[in-house]
Chains A and B, each alone.
Chain A
């Protein structure tokens, strides 16, 4: 069914289609429409599960972890400060290996206060052990939630799906809502191999000696590594069922490109227009979209950028003292490349500022004209 709706409502539809029986959340702008839609559906009986209106995001995540350990699918949604408050529990979720799925609407972190798009909130949580992926638009957000459950329930790691404030969360677009039957066919009921059992009481998170701790962390790392393969397979299966796929990275007009723009999230769709315009002006440009950030798709990125000379990474985020975060990760992935490409870091769109096709063209031209390396991130201040 095709419907004109916002990215937030697309996420809610995905949760409904996945028959998630336990939703625990706390409202926060710009995520609130997800919360409201699910509440509405709980009240009207459209969804059959329980919606827990917890007193904080920290509690919401604690509830999801506990519920997940009883063997049910769980969901929460948050944003910015809410995600920051959840931080401690994010580590617990990953450490307890629960397949919780969360939608995070990327919003700047205070101070100063604001509601606008910025990826720093979720990128600040990059070391918590969560699978992270960044969506370009509402349709991708909807599809990613469905895919996320399937990935999470195979590797026993939680998944955070990020969609930027307003540009994705509130923009309305025509979207395809999959049939329930098709989703049921794609996503079987959750089957956690071990879970809380009344017959066999146990307690979670016991104190362990150093060696055991190391072992658990290593197992989580191994599981995370396997995501790259599982995610590709799930994406492929999704394509077979629904006709859409996204990959863990996506290459656009890369074959002969002399300058590659690298993006994640909503700037990607603008970049698609910009790349075409650049080509019309005679600049052979290409686009690499990074969808999965955790695990970082190192091999896929290396493969996509093989033989390329100039790369411009646009980050709607900045690690103060470090620069654009996607660029940091990309540089690290490319460090052993025999091609030694020049990788420029551009910080643009901070705090929800507009990144228009013209801005992206300017970034490309700036990179084209540069001859030597630049270590620092270049801030776009227009």
Chain B
């Protein structure tokens, strides 16, 4: 370094040389490390959605890239963005600051904003592709097929109905999930070269033994059989089963449901039945044996049913159904009360002796749960009304796996996707002779159920899986850089039009709403190029390229002060001691 000391220039102590030759980085005892972490929303998502990443991309207006990011982990952003019970939002760190980020409707926006696009999906190279049969084209089966295809395998899907989709197609009504959305997403999945055999009932047209010709089988027949009430009069023609009712609506049948309908049940099917019946012009009452608080249905669904004029009769259980002379039916309900025991999670309804309620209606629709048709399933694969599988989703059958609503697990679309993904990875690992449980511990998004396909693929390529990333907790964020803002909510069609037909009730986000909503995301553990480390670095040695999404630190000149780590609002940078 040269300091000028002669002539005019000597007066002011100035240097025109660079100090770069001085390796100040050697002074430090710690270095910043970009520690991309898992956000709590990502941990909470059973599908392992890369939420922070896709929300960042929405905020940047890169919707195509956002879609690509989601599709790495979840083949159904359009479906999940509409019908998911969004456990991610309960996990959101922003809950502890003001209100959760609208993750669910942002996922929907990824689909809505790219509805005209068809991103190219890139299956991994696989030198030894296997043939796998998937039985049942619901969310679990289609997800399993999708991920197996992404892993380079050849998949054949057997579907008993004339169209794929399962509960998404035949259960969920159009006003919650338009058929066009489902069609688009299934089309994208099948575009991977998956063979789809519809109208083929395994166990009838296709003997179950014939599945032996495949290297592995995934059973995902779903739970489509309405459970009986177990009450006298259930067989009357005035009594319908909820799944049949929804199925007929989804087939496009014109149904005369009746002027006054009673729906029995408190789950999502009951809500779907009740709200569909409202759209057919009926007055609807839901009868449930516990209170609204204990209903297994998603809270939003219960609230919306109520907003649409569905009445609730709670703490009642049917004991008898009779047909009256005027062709109406009379239902006798036992009044119930709740007893909470410390061991049980949910309060138990018990009858109040001698207390009854009588209700009259034109029709009764039951929605007290759905069972699995196990008639074609070998005896040794069954247990307590389900197909029995262990955590890795293997059954007792050789290379036979099972998932979705047919196994004993939480019933939701996202859980089904989760099991489809897990089974795909299990099956792939079985061909490689590796223990799935061991690999799962490395590729989990956090400590819950969701697995990261991206992490799996990365390790699969290298032959070894790295330790999983930690989950960012609220206290690790630097909230000084955030300011309170209101949660952005989905739009809705006019209240007056809600019951006029089966048009989708929620209209999603406007582009501005999506942008504002995306910018509310703390992006926990994921760099969103906020430039804080760049601005706060006293050495000026952080460089950025948001276009290429690279962030570099000149470690030769990093003194390890840790300012960047403290200034990072989202806990992306961790200081590590130099050994």
| A residues at B contact (CB < 8 Å) | 69, 95-98, 156, 193-194, 200-208, 212, 215-216, 219
- Distance in Å: Cβ of A234 to nearest Cβ of chain B: 19
Q: Is the CB of B3 within 8 A of A206?
A: yes
B15 near A: Cβ within 8 Å? yes
Q: Is the CB of B8 within 8 A of A206?
A: no
- Distance in Å: Cβ of A153 to nearest Cβ of chain B: 12
Which residues of chain B have C-beta atoms less than 8 A from A98's C-beta? 12
Q: Is the CB of B13 within 8 A of A69?
A: no
- Distance in Å: Cβ of A209 to nearest Cβ of chain B: 9
B1 near A: Cβ within 8 Å? yes
Q: Which of A200, A201, A204, A215 contacts B12 (CB 8 A)?
A: A204
**Chain B contact residues: over half helix, strand or loop, or mixed?**
loop
Which residues of chain A have C-beta atoms less than 8 A from B14's C-beta? 194, 202-206
B5 near A: Cβ within 8 Å? yes
Which residues of chain B have C-beta atoms less than 8 A from A219's C-beta? 10-11
Q: Is the CB of A194 within 8 A of B9?
A: yes
Identity of the chain A residue whose Cβ is nearest the Cβ of B22 in the assembled complex: A207
* Count of interface residues, chain B, beta-carbon cutoff 8 Å: 13
| B residues at A contact (CB < 8 Å) | 1, 3, 5, 8-16, 19
Q: Is the CB of A194 within 8 A of B11?
A: yes
Q: Is the CB of B11 within 8 A of A212?
A: no
Which residues of chain A have C-beta atoms less than 8 A from B13's C-beta? 95-96, 204-206, 208, 216
Q: Is the CB of A215 within 8 A of B16?
A: no
Docked pose: A233 CA to B19 CA in angstroms = 42
Q: Is the CB of B15 within 8 A of A203?
A: yes
Which residues of chain A have C-beta atoms less than 8 A from B12's C-beta? 69, 96-98, 156, 194, 204
Cross-chain pairs A/B with CB under 8 angstroms, 5 sampled: A97-B12, A156-B12, A202-B15, A203-B19, A205-B13
Q: Which of B3, B8, B16 contacts A200 (CB 8 A)?
A: B16
Which residues of chain B have C-beta atoms less than 8 A from A205's C-beta? 13-14
Which residues of chain A have C-beta atoms less than 8 A from B10's C-beta? 219
- Distance in Å: Cβ of B3 to nearest Cβ of chain A: 5
Docked pose: A194 CA to B11 CA in angstroms = 9
Q: Which of A156, A200, A204, A208 contacts B11 (CB 8 A)?
A: A156
- Distance in Å: Cβ of B5 to nearest Cβ of chain A: 6
A200-B16, A202-B15 known; 17 other A-B pairs, CB under 8 Å? A96-B13, A97-B12, A98-B12, A156-B11, A156-B12, A194-B8, A194-B11, A204-B13, A204-B14, A206-B1, A206-B3, A206-B19, A208-B3, A208-B13, A216-B13, A219-B10, A219-B11
Which residues of chain A have C-beta atoms less than 8 A from B19's C-beta? 203, 206
Identity of the chain B residue whose Cβ is nearest the Cβ of A193 in the assembled complex: B8
Docked pose: A69 CA to B13 CA in angstroms = 11
- Distance in Å: Cβ of A200 to nearest Cβ of chain B: 6
Identity of the chain B residue whose Cβ is nearest the Cβ of A203 in the assembled complex: B15
Which residues of chain A have C-beta atoms less than 8 A from B11's C-beta? 97, 156, 193-194, 219
- Distance in Å: Cβ of A191 to nearest Cβ of chain B: 12
Docked pose: A201 CA to B19 CA in angstroms = 13
Docked pose: A193 CA to B14 CA in angstroms = 13
Considering the complex of A and B, which 7 residue pairs feature the smallest CB-CB distances, nearest first? A206-B15, A202-B16, A193-B8, A202-B14, A97-B11, A194-B8, A97-B12
Which residues of chain A have C-beta atoms less than 8 A from B9's C-beta? 194
- Distance in Å: Cβ of A5 to nearest Cβ of chain B: 37
- Distance in Å: Cβ of B72 to nearest Cβ of chain A: 45
Residue of A156, A193, A194, A201 contacting most chain B CB atoms (<10 Å): A194
CB contact under 8 A between A215 and B1, given known A203-B19, A206-B13? no
Docked pose: A206 CA to B1 CA in angstroms = 9
Which residues of chain A have C-beta atoms less than 8 A from B5's C-beta? 212, 215
- Distance in Å: Cβ of A359 to nearest Cβ of chain B: 45
- Distance in Å: Cβ of B105 to nearest Cβ of chain A: 42
Which residues of chain B have C-beta atoms less than 8 A from A69's C-beta? 12
Identity of the chain B residue whose Cβ is nearest the Cβ of A195 in the assembled complex: B12
- Distance in Å: Cβ of B295 to nearest Cβ of chain A: 57
- Distance in Å: Cβ of A218 to nearest Cβ of chain B: 11
Identity of the chain B residue whose Cβ is nearest the Cβ of A157 in the assembled complex: B11
Which residues of chain B have C-beta atoms less than 8 A from A212's C-beta? 3, 5
Docked pose: A215 CA to B10 CA in angstroms = 10
Which residues of chain A have C-beta atoms less than 8 A from B8's C-beta? 193-194
Docked pose: A208 CA to B15 CA in angstroms = 10
Docked pose: A95 CA to B3 CA in angstroms = 14
Docked pose: A206 CA to B17 CA in angstroms = 10
Docked pose: A203 CA to B1 CA in angstroms = 12
Which residues of chain B have C-beta atoms less than 8 A from A96's C-beta? 12-13
- Distance in Å: Cβ of A154 to nearest Cβ of chain B: 12
Which residues of chain B have C-beta atoms less than 8 A from A201's C-beta? 16
Docked pose: A156 CA to B5 CA in angstroms = 15
Residue of B1, B13, B16 contacting most chain A CB atoms (<10 Å): B13
Docked pose: A206 CA to B11 CA in angstroms = 13
Identity of the chain B residue whose Cβ is nearest the Cβ of A213 in the assembled complex: B13
Docked pose: A39 CA to B9 CA in angstroms = 35
Docked pose: A179 CA to B146 CA in angstroms = 87
Residue of B8, B10, B12 contacting most chain A CB atoms (<10 Å): B12
Docked pose: A216 CA to B11 CA in angstroms = 7
Which residues of chain B have C-beta atoms less than 8 A from A216's C-beta? 13
Residue of B1, B9, B14 contacting most chain A CB atoms (<10 Å): B14
Docked pose: A96 CA to B11 CA in angstroms = 8
Docked pose: A213 CA to B16 CA in angstroms = 17
